[in-house]
Structure 1
Amino acid sequence: MNMRIDGASCQIIPDDLYTSGEPSLNRLAAAAGDRFDVWQRQINRIILAKSADGFWSARNAVLSIPRQTGKTYDIGWIAIHRSARTPGMRIVWTAQHFSVIKDTFESLCAIVLRPEMSGLVDPDHGISLAAGKEEIRFRNGSRIFFRARERGALRGVKKIALLVIDEAQHLSDSAMASMLPTQNRAWNPQTIYMGTPPGPRDNGEAFTRLRDKARAGRTHSTLYVEFTADRDADPLDRQQWRKANPSYPAHTSDESIANLWENLTGDDFRREALGIWDEHALSQAIDRRQWEEATIDKRRPGGVMSFGIDMNPQRTRLTIGACMRYDDNTAHIELAEYRDTNQDGTMWAVNLIDKVWEQTAALVIDGQSPATALLPDLAQAGVTVTVTAATDMGRACGRLQDMLRDGTLTHLPEDGQQPLWQAAAKATTRPIGKNGLFGWNRPDDDTDISPLNAVTLALHGAMTTRRDPTQETETWF
């Protein structure tokens, strides 16, 4: 099938579109008195398309579409259609905030409780109104669960054939990692991500990475759709409103968008109403010129050493980063060890640190890292570990950038340090909290930034610890 989406500024369409269930969706909606705009039908046709072997052509659908376009209405109908047509279907609709998920639940209830839909849902027992456990239950055994991510309410939910992730601009890597396993045992699962461009204070690293990966052509089973105004658009230009919002002015009124302009900041309006992504979302975390200028052939002697340990999310790589701090408040970082855990396990790291602990000022592990699994073994070895919180990591990343800029940090050449150089070249940033702090972020699933995390943690330990193993302990009697 030849597919395209009218008006989309960017569209990445998967291969092998053999047949689609979109006509069936249209008939169901028409029976209830609803209809879709052309752009919605085109998106639905691709989301509901299957390949010749019967699997979803778009295993993932990623939609970057401004507010007040009707995307929730459209994807809501997809969820209802699939529930009605497939007995025993299990769907989860998740949003970051409870207020949003409650509004969506009420909107979909209003559809399925129409008289024309009476054969689908039992009006007496088909709706669960329990706070935090809202559900729509269909007569054929299908269920749509509505859950807010802020409440961590997906625990124990399994075999999810369709996962709808609303407010994807607030989707962190950790939240996504906790949700995707709900689909592990489902046959032919599908995930739909939809949201607006994340702002600098949004924890939107997962949504940003999905966008980057699709636009770079690194996937063949993802539908990516982006509606956006021009980057330099006049925010009050109605033609730009029309370009960004495919429902304007037919269904989204001039007054509705003008109201957003009155109540949002200029930058938020660009993201929320015009769909414009911040340029910094694609910027590199480490300045290439500053990184190269910090290269030295050999670290100078003296100083006090500290270490940081990190592990990638897949738990396949374990990294030890090292830092030497000098009396003049300069420092040197380098990759000490980088090993495959499938081959070498993890105890080697405990044994290595144990051997040098008496000469070590600090060992640091981030509290959110999989490397925290080493804490019991390190404690048994008599090693004291500094476990950082998110704000500590934010300050540590800022310190590394500042020291590179000021010329007070050095590191070794790329030869022998390739994993660290690759991480420094590819890492982006993610916001931590609302005070300007940030952490390193993976631009895609294939990039391992644990070497950069490890040396950053080592630098943090070196610059903040009060332990000095070079000083003899004075004994008082």
Structure 2
Amino acid sequence: MLEEDFLEALGAAQPLYATKPTPGAENELKALEMTAKLQGRPLMPWQRLVGRVATEKDSFGNYKYKIVVITVPRQSGKTTIVMSLDTMRGIKYPGSKAFYTAQSGKDARERLFDLADNLQASPIGNEVIVHRAAGAPRITLPTGSRIHSFSPTPESLHGYTPRTVTLDEIFAFDSAEGNLLLGAVTPAQQTVRDRQLIMTSTAGTSDSTFLADWVERGRQATQETDTQIAYFEWSLADGLDPFDPSNWDFHPGLQGGLIEKADIAAAAESMSRGEFIRAFMNRPTIQKSDAVFDLKAWAELKTELSEPLRREVAIGFEVNADRSRAAIVAAWKNGNSGEIHHKVIRNGSGINWLAPTLEQLAEYRPTAIGADRYAQNNALVSELSDELQKEVVTLTPEHIKTACVAYKGRIEDGTVKHTGDGALTRAVSEAMSRPMGEGWVLSHNSPPEVVAAVVAVRLLALSKEESQPLIAF
């Protein structure tokens, strides 16, 4: 197939950057396609392009590209293509070894075992041996070739000489971590002439400096003729609205039927703005090191929440700055432990649903209902019934400053718990702050779930402090 034919087959899902097929170059695309069909997962058009280029041979019969970098949105099938490459090479080259890792050893094992399940359900399943022991997970193919998963540590490849090494989801590594891994991969593969390193990822944060470096190098490589780097990127072009469905056709999973626009729309509804853009538009978002809250501490606060009485619950709500989203969070004390439990009651796009929901919640007579005092929340409160308007509490600037600092402190000292709900966790990770006087508060450009959470927790504290009267409309 000619270069233009590969691109034409992609339809609207054109790559933003891609290494072009070398006309007439020997390659292993047919073998790769047969392997993918063997697993019941025929290659999609974008995977065929990648497979065609990644398996090109040079004049000595070795792989032309020693490094292949692939960055695509979530739900594109990137793990499928790299696992198919490993399997194809294991069948074609008896006794070869391939090693695969991801952001953690656990993630790598799970994906290896997904491949194992597919292979064992295939026509060669009876001849595939799977070793599931935690210390040495691997698949042994009928040819004696092995596919291993490994933890992303420099020591993991010691003593091995793999033909192929795959580093998946490299957004999880900063430059130091990624380069330590490469420091282990390079000598392990040095004596293998027909070697290849494959690195894949969806976009990360600006903490993802290892990925950012390879994106820059890969983009440059697509403009060069004498390079050992093949690079492929499907992401939303600059200047396009990430929430306009007419701009989603670039997503390579759409063309292969792996995902539909309705699925992307559902993700846009349920995910925070930043995480949606990162995951489904394949654009980098804010960095973890700039996070307002301690995300490592937050991750350790996941627990099974207690069941409160309705009158013990404080309810916080928030309309974000552009009125595109809103959220309601409930908070309550866990017995006499001093811990506060909280969770998202409801969140979603728009605000038409918010006032009716607050009216319903008010019927349960919670200990307090309130929000940060600012224009968008004030406008929402004006839509409530006269009775509820009198009950709604708004936090003054000084109270909201205290609320933000207190919430941050509770995360750090472990006295606020959550269910691990994705919406609240993403909101906490993407929270943005702004200065206020000599302190700081959360920006209303933050995801509304985190602001509502801060308010709910503060209202709970204020309800117990007679010396801190609540301020009502």
| 3-state secondary structure, aligned to 1:186 | coil
Residue of structure 1 in register with 2:118 after alignment: 111
Does the 8 Å CA contact 2:235/2:282 hold for their aligned counterparts? yes
Q: C-alpha distance in 2, partners of 1:265/1:434?
A: 8
| 3-state secondary structure, aligned to 1:173 | helix
1:235 to 242, 245, 267: 242
Q: Is 1:211 the counterpart of 2:215 in the alignment?
A: yes
Q: Is 1:141 the counterpart of 2:147 in the alignment?
A: no
Residue of structure 1 in register with 2:254 after alignment: 247
Matches within 5 A, 1:162-311: 162-171=164-173, 172-200=178-206, 202=207, 204-217=208-221, 220-247=227-254, 250-277=257-284
Structure 1: tracts of 5 or more residues without a match: 281-432, 437-477
Give the Å deviation of 1:52: 2.3
Does the 8 Å CA contact 1:196/1:271 hold for their aligned counterparts? yes
Give the Å deviation of 1:57: 1.6
Q: C-alpha distance in 2, partners of 1:85/1:135?
A: 18
Give the Å deviation of 1:248: 5.2
Give the Å deviation of 1:15: 5.7
Count residues in correspondence. Answer: 277
Residue of structure 2 in register with 1:18 after alignment: 25
Residue of structure 2 in register with 1:459 after alignment: none
Structure 2: tracts of 5 or more residues without a match: 288-428, 433-473
One-letter code of the match for 2:220? Answer: A
Q: Is 1:158 the counterpart of 2:164 in the alignment?
A: no
Give the Å deviation of 1:132: 4.3
Does the 8 Å CA contact 2:35/2:84 hold for their aligned counterparts? no
Does the 8 Å CA contact 2:38/2:122 hold for their aligned counterparts? no
Q: C-alpha distance in 1, partners of 2:102/2:29?
A: 25
Give the Å deviation of 1:272: 1.5
Q: Is 1:97 the counterpart of 2:104 in the alignment?
A: yes
Does the 8 Å CA contact 1:136/1:143 hold for their aligned counterparts? yes
Distance 1:139 1:153, change over 3 A: farther
Give the Å deviation of 1:138: 1.7
Distance 1:13 1:27, change over 3 A: same
Q: C-alpha distance in 2, partners of 1:247/1:183?
A: 36
| 3-state secondary structure, aligned to 2:123 | helix
Does the 8 Å CA contact 2:137/2:148 hold for their aligned counterparts? yes
Give the Å deviation of 1:64: 1.0
Percent identity between matched residues is 19
Does the 8 Å CA contact 1:69/1:245 hold for their aligned counterparts? yes
Distance 1:17 1:198, change over 3 A: farther
Write out per-residue CA displacement over residues 218-262 of structure 1, whole angstroms, 9 at most, x where no aligned residue: 661211111011223323222322213443572213354234334
Give the Å deviation of 1:119: 6.1
Does the 8 Å CA contact 1:14/1:222 hold for their aligned counterparts? no
Does the 8 Å CA contact 1:14/1:221 hold for their aligned counterparts? no
Does the 8 Å CA contact 1:244/1:275 hold for their aligned counterparts? no
Residue of structure 1 in register with 2:60 after alignment: 53
Q: C-alpha distance in 2, partners of 1:177/1:259?
A: 41
One-letter code of the match for 2:200? Answer: M
Q: C-alpha distance in 1, partners of 2:76/2:210?
A: 23
Give the Å deviation of 1:26: 1.6
Residue of structure 2 in register with 1:418 after alignment: none
- Please, what TM-score do these two structures have when normalized by structure 1? 0.53
Residue of structure 1 in register with 2:82 after alignment: 75
Residue of structure 1 in register with 2:339 after alignment: none
CA RMSD between the two structures: 2.9
Distance 1:153 1:144, change over 3 A: farther
- Please, what TM-score do these two structures have when normalized by structure 2? 0.53
Does the 8 Å CA contact 2:158/2:184 hold for their aligned counterparts? no
| 3-state secondary structure, aligned to 1:216 | helix
Larger deviation, residues 138-147 vs 205-214: 205-214
Write out per-residue CA displacement over residues 119-159 of structure 1, whole angstroms, 9 at most, x where no aligned residue: 652xxxx111112421001232211110121x656142421
Give the Å deviation of 1:106: 2.0
Write out per-residue CA displacement over residues 388-420 of structure 1, whole angstroms, 9 at most, x where no aligned residue: xxxxxxxxxxxxxxxxxxxxxxxxxxxxxxxxx
Give the Å deviation of 1:186: 1.9
Q: C-alpha distance in 2, partners of 1:279/1:263?
A: 19
Q: C-alpha distance in 1, partners of 2:270/2:251?
A: 19
Q: C-alpha distance in 2, partners of 1:127/1:58?
A: 30
One-letter code of the match for 1:173? Answer: N
| 3-state secondary structure, aligned to 2:165 | strand
One-letter code of the match for 1:131? Answer: A
Q: C-alpha distance in 1, partners of 2:209/2:240?
A: 25
Distance 1:237 1:128, change over 3 A: same
Residue of structure 1 in register with 2:329 after alignment: none
Q: C-alpha distance in 2, partners of 1:238/1:132?
A: 45
Distance 1:242 1:153, change over 3 A: farther
One-letter code of the match for 1:50? Answer: K
